[in-house]
């Protein structure tokens, strides 16, 4: 979308990442502009911008300072402002690889286009930051959900040994594996309210197209606030702090992992999610210790030479 270009409501921009059947869209809707990950017949939002006071959008236009939103009287009512104020905005683009929305300007000193605005500034907030069944950790790196089988103790890497579909009349038995301290950035999935976590898991188990579920406790002590979202793809998973009130579950072949009641499952998931972060911390501390020892040794040698 170029500077001065206008897009009416109910139009969108599209980009296609490599090696996946999913694609991204930036859509202009009546009440918001939003980013979506499209998969099959469903689409999941992962970023949105709404005008205040529930005002409706008629069209958007890329101005010199950012993306401007107009009402039915052609009056500007909201604006996504680009942070760079020296150079004018040149274009808006939806990234093919990341699905991030950016507003760009030209920087003469580098002779390159630079982003003055990005909808998502954190890697883990991107919908496809990691491959399917991968978890984006606090260090913005990916850790696979490695599934351990009871029978032969083989470990699968991310989505290996996990069927991409559970429909088709097969006899494969399945179960829901709960992942601790993770959520998905994908929103607007089919939702059920006033359901327990067990019911939420069963809803996904009984739907062959469902591959993951997110249960929200809402207000503790109020069962009516519990919600269940069902997903047709496993993506956008990121690590979060404990006590989020959310429970993310993925569908796996039965026997792939230990039973949920087994304490080894919780320990195993925590190890998988934290393994990359733990290695980074160990490497940093090890390097610091080596530096201090090496520096002290050089100081001692210098003192001996002076004497």
Confidence (pLDDT) at 151: 52
Name 231's bridge partners: 212
Count CB neighbours of 190 within 10 A.
13
Confidence (pLDDT) at 259: 35
Between 31 and 303, the more confident residue is 31
Instruction: Read off the pLDDT band of 25 (50, 70, 90).
Output: very high
In this predicted structure, the answer to whether residue 120 has a pLDDT above a threshold of 90 is yes
Confidence (pLDDT) at 145: 73
What residue segments make up the domains of the chain, in order of their start?
6-121, 134-267
Q: Which residue matches tokens 């997110």?
A: 214
Sequence-ordered list of residues with C-beta below 8 angstroms from that of 148, at least 6 positions apart, any chain:
154, 155, 256, 257, 258, 268
* Mean predicted confidence (pLDDT) in 59-82: 91
Could you tell me the CA-to-CA distances from 178 to 27, 78, 200, 237 in Å, in that order? Answer: 33, 41, 12, 13
State phi, psi for 214 to the nearest 5 degrees.
Answer: -125, 120
* Mean predicted confidence (pLDDT) in 119-143: 91
Confidence (pLDDT) at 68: 93
- Comparing 180-184, 232-236, 272-276, the range with the smallest average pLDDT is 272-276
Whether the pTM exceeds 0.85: the reply is no
Q: Which residue matches tokens 């019911």?
A: 199
Q: What is the token pair recorded at 150?
A: 């009871």
In this predicted structure, the answer to whether residue 265 has a pLDDT above a threshold of 50 is no
Q: What is the token pair recorded at 286?
A: 């090890």
- Comparing 71-85, 111-125, 176-190, the range with the smallest average pLDDT is 71-85
In this predicted structure, the answer to whether residue 56 has a pLDDT above a threshold of 70 is yes
Confidence (pLDDT) at 5: 92
Between CA 86 and CA 238 the distance in angstroms is 36
Confidence (pLDDT) at 244: 75
Kindly report the average pLDDT of the chain as a whole number. Answer: 80
CATH number given to 6-121: 2.90.10
Q: Which residue matches tokens 């090696």?
A: 19
Instruction: Read off the pLDDT band of 266 (50, 70, 90).
Output: very low
- Of 12, 56, 54, give the one whose Cα is nearest residue 36: 12
Between 121 and 149, the more confident residue is 121
- Of 104, 133, 130, 153, give the one whose Cα is nearest residue 250: 133
In this predicted structure, the answer to whether residue 127 has a pLDDT above a threshold of 90 is yes
* Mean predicted confidence (pLDDT) in 217-230: 74
Q: Which residue matches tokens 């093919």?
A: 96
Q: Distance from CA of residue 40 to its chain's centroid?
A: 18
* Mean predicted confidence (pLDDT) in 290-307: 58
Confidence (pLDDT) at 224: 63
In this predicted structure, the answer to whether residue 277 has a pLDDT above a threshold of 70 is no
In this predicted structure, the answer to whether residue 262 has a pLDDT above a threshold of 60 is no
Between 121 and 305, the more confident residue is 121
* Mean predicted confidence (pLDDT) in 210-214: 94
* Mean predicted confidence (pLDDT) in 130-151: 79
């Amino acid at each position: 979308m170029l500077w001065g270009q206008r897009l009416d409501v109910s139009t969108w921009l599209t980009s296609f990442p490599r090696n996946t059947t999913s694609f991204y869209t930036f859509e202009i809707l009546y009440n918001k502009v939003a980013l979506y990950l499209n998969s099959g017949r469903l689409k999941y939002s992962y970023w949105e911008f709404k005008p205040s006071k529930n005002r409706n959008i008629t069209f958007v236009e890329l101005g010199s300072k950012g993306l401007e939103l107009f009402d039915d009287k052609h009056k500007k009512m909201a604006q996504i402002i680009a942070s760079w104020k020296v150079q004018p905005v040149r274009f808006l683009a939806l990234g093919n690889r990341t699905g991030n929305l950016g507003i760009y300007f030209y920087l003469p000193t580098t002779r390159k286009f630079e982003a003055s605005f990005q909808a998502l500034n954190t890697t883990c907030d991107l919908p496809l930051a990691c491959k399917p069944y991968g978890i984006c950790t606090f260090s913005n790196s990916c850790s696979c959900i490695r599934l351990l089988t009871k029978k032969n103790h083989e470990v699968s890497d991310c989505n290996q040994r996990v069927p991409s579909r559970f429909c088709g009349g097969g006899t494969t038995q399945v179960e829901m594996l709960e992942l601790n301290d993770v959520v998905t950035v994908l929103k607007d999935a089919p939702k059920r309210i006033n359901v327990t976590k067990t019911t939420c898991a069963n809803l996904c188990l009984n739907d062959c197209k469902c591959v993951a579920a997110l249960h929200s406790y809402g207000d503790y002590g109020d069962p009516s606030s519990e919600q269940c979202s069902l997903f047709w793809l496993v993506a956008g998973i990121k690590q979060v702090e404990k006590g989020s009130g959310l429970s993310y579950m993925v569908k796996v072949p039965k026997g792939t992992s230990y039973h949920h009641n087994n304490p080894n499952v919780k320990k195993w998931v925590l190890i998988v999610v934290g393994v990359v972060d733990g290695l980074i911390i160990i490497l940093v501390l090890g390097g610091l210790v080596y530096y201090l020892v090496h520096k002290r040794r050089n100081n001692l040698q210098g003192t001996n030479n002076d004497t």
